[in-house]
Structure 1
Amino acid sequence: MINDIPPVVPPGRMAALPQPEFTLPGGMLLRPWRTPDAPALVASYEDPDIRHWNRPPRRTPAEAEAHIARYHALWQTEEAAIWAIAPPTGPALGLIGLADLDLRGGSGEILYWLLPAGRGAGATVAATTRITRWAFDELGLHRLRITHSVHNPASCAVATKAGFPLEGTMRGALLHADGWHDEHLHARLRTDDAPA
């Protein structure tokens, strides 16, 4: 019976699009990852906050370069859309993306992290807001979600400021280095009002 329901986003639609680039308020860019950005992936493991909340693997520079190539492949296979958050002339300082994409069902999950050098200027909120607009208006998704540990108030603030209201708490939903964490679930629909 589900095959009688047309897909929300037709297969091949995302892969046919070039990955866009965006300029954020304040001058930061969202752009595809590049090989020279590999040190940012290596550094993401070294930052204790990113390591705790996002659980990135330890990577050598060569492994980071291979992972950047995988980001480009995930776009083509329509499994994920991953951008670098970067200054106009420098390497990446962070990551934002859409993962767990279900184009047939019209949903995905926003994930993000930012190295200390990029924090404090609202770049993550601006990036989340911009990627949300693209996902709804250009790609055609219906629902986006953000999940994070209940002990991570910074991520909670990003979700709320970007217009993702809290829907509930998922008990024991994600294993961190210090044990199982309850997770907040924030979500937004294409039909919701944009944040002020």
Structure 2
Amino acid sequence: MVQTRMRTLAPSLTEPRGHGLHLRSWDAACDADVETWLRGHLDPEFRRWNTPLTLWTDLSGARESLRARAGQAAEGRSASFRITDAESGTPLGHIGFNEINQPLKLARVGYWVLPEARGRGVATRALLLVSRWAFTELGLHRLELGHADGHDASCRVAERGGYAYEGTMRGAMWEAGRHDVFRDAHLHARLATDEEPAGSGDVR
């Protein structure tokens, strides 16, 4: 039986490269991609700060999640990338856009990094790379980044990526592992008209 490849990036769009990274489309038909996607979502640090709409915990759920993202990408509503090392191709994490709103030229960015890749500036480099891509490839004007209040590491990534802190959103995110209790979140944003952050030039 031939599996249909379901990629989380429209075929007409390029895959960003730069800062020692290659952002590749996730492929729901690729077992290695599904396993990496599952491992990232089961990581305790991820689960501490993020609560997906569906709380899946197995390969079947992970594959279905990637298929859903591929469907959203085909409709222009999202774009998801597997962060990889540009030379070795080793997977390092995920970055992508949810809720792409073309009429308003707006999208929300989210990311996570695998445990073994932390402490190397992967999230910051990926954020610089994907932000330039969104402004040039998708023609967006405003990119928003939200993270749970208290997630200081994500706050630093946002600031280094040129995302200005705009305030605290009350009760804007679910508590870890819950769909019935809310917590506050910080809102950061970057505009296409903002100055480029320092060190953002190595992007193509």
* 2:83 counterpart (68, 82, 85): 85
- CA deviations over 1:44-80 (Å, ceiling 9, x no partner): 2321110121224333223322332333222210110
Which residue pairs with 2:188 in the alignment? 186
In structure 2, the residue matched to 1:48 is 44
- 1:138 is matched with 137
CA contact (8 A) 1:54 1:113 kept: no
Counting only pairs closer than 5 Å after superposition, residues 64-143 of structure 1 correspond to structure 2 as 64-87=62-85, 88-90=87-89, 92-143=91-142
Structure 1 gaps, min length 5: 1-13
State the superposition RMSD in angstroms.
1.9
Instruction: Pick closer, same or farther for the CA change 1:67–1:92 going to 2, 3 Å.
Output: farther
Q: What percent identity do the matched residue pairs reach?
A: 36
Q: Is the 8 A contact 2:127 2:161 kept in 1?
A: yes
One-letter amino acid of the structure 2 residue matched with residue 23 of structure 1? R
Number of residue equivalences: 181
1:33 matches 2:26: yes
Structure 2 unaligned spans of 5+: 1-8, 199-204
CA distance in 2, matches of 1:58, 1:69: 14
TM-score after normalising by structure 1: 0.84
Structure 1 CA distance for aligned equivalents of residues 117 and 70 of structure 2: 23
Structure number having the greater helix percentage: 1
1:20 and 2:14 aligned:
yes
Hey, what's the Cα distance between the residues in 2 that align with 1:45 and 1:109? Answer: 19
Normalised by the size of structure 2, how large is the TM-score? 0.81
